Amino acid sequence: MTTIEPMRPAPIAIANDLAVKDLRAALGAGWRDFAARPGYGLFFGAIFAVSGLVLGYLLLARGEPEWLIPAAAGFPLLAPFTAVGLYEVSRRREANLPTSWSVILGALKGRGDEQILSMGVILFVAFGFWIIVAHGVFAVFMAEAGAGAESLAFLTTPAGLTMLGVGSVFGALIALAFYSITVVSLPMLVDRKVDFLTAIITSLRAFRTHLAVLLVWAAFVAAALFVAMLPAFLGLLIVLPVLGHSTWHLYRRIVDSAPATE
């Protein structure tokens, strides 16, 4: 007696010829999207910037200035989820579909399911995990430093610089892990009706296939967000939407998607 193996869906096709020049092309297309629909970009950029300012204010008000650096370092983990509305703007511009605030804000609901919200939960858990890791690193070095370790001046001491170095390594590893699962998955969930596990697997396949190029993009995004946060997070008003739109076009270059629909 023979058994019939259940059919498994074929993996989503990805390009195998991504190059650094495609990053420049995606960035140019992202800037054009932002320039064409600046209101949406400024809105989402403002949400991220204001959230950063509020977080910084709360830490200072609680007398915990030492947490400003780990909080700011982990904050970009939430950027991909903030950019979901920007992906929808780019998707609609590409397909010559009308845009409105209701459909752009409704992009968080995904394709009538909760897949994007599930990814959002994962990203917020990642941010929480980073804070736990940072707390552990700080606790070890502060215990050794003793009195005065809870001031920003401590960060300029040899022990403080070592702590920042160790924390940066852990932070970079966490950020890279979550970058690898979101760089393609979140725009895909906006573009296609797929489950978030399929989107994550596709993102990991794309990351593995184009490791060098996507590492260059990751480094550029990290540097751009870092510089944008320096002037009281205000640089995020421009940088976040441009990067969000650009990520959509990079996704479209990597994944051969079907024509966009309503």
pLDDT digits (tens, 9 = 90+) for 204-240: 999 999 999 999 999 999 889 888 888 778 888 999 9
Q: How do residues 77-90 score in pLDDT, each as one tens digit?
A: 677 777 889 999 99
Please check whether residue 202 is in contact with residue 11, taking contact to mean a CB–CB distance below 8 angstroms. yes
Q: Where are the beta strands (DSSP E) in 92-180?
A: none
In a domain, 15, yes or no: no
Share of the chain above pLDDT 90, in %: 34
Distance of CA 38 to the CA centre of its chain: 20
In a domain, 38, yes or no: yes
Show the DSSP H helices in 62-114 as ranges.
68-74, 79-82, 84-94, 101-105
Considering the entire predicted model, what is its pTM?
A: 0.82
In a domain, 3, yes or no: no
Angstrom distances, CA of residue 66 to CA of 57, 132, 182: 13, 14, 29
Helix axes 84-94, 20-36, angle to 10 degrees: 90
Number of domains comprising the chain? 1
pLDDT value at 5 more than 50 = no
Tokens of 221: 């995004």
In a domain, 9, yes or no: no
In a domain, 7, yes or no: no
Helix axes 196-209, 158-182, angle to 10 degrees: 110
Angle at 76 between CA 72 and CA 80, to 5 degrees: 160
pLDDT value at 260 more than 70 = no
Q: Which domain holds residue 74?
A: 20-254
> pLDDT tier at 259 (50, 70, 90 boundaries)?
very low
In a domain, 8, yes or no: no
In a domain, 97, yes or no: yes
Tokens of 101: 């605030």
Number of helices and strands (H, E) in the chain? 12, 0
In a domain, 79, yes or no: yes
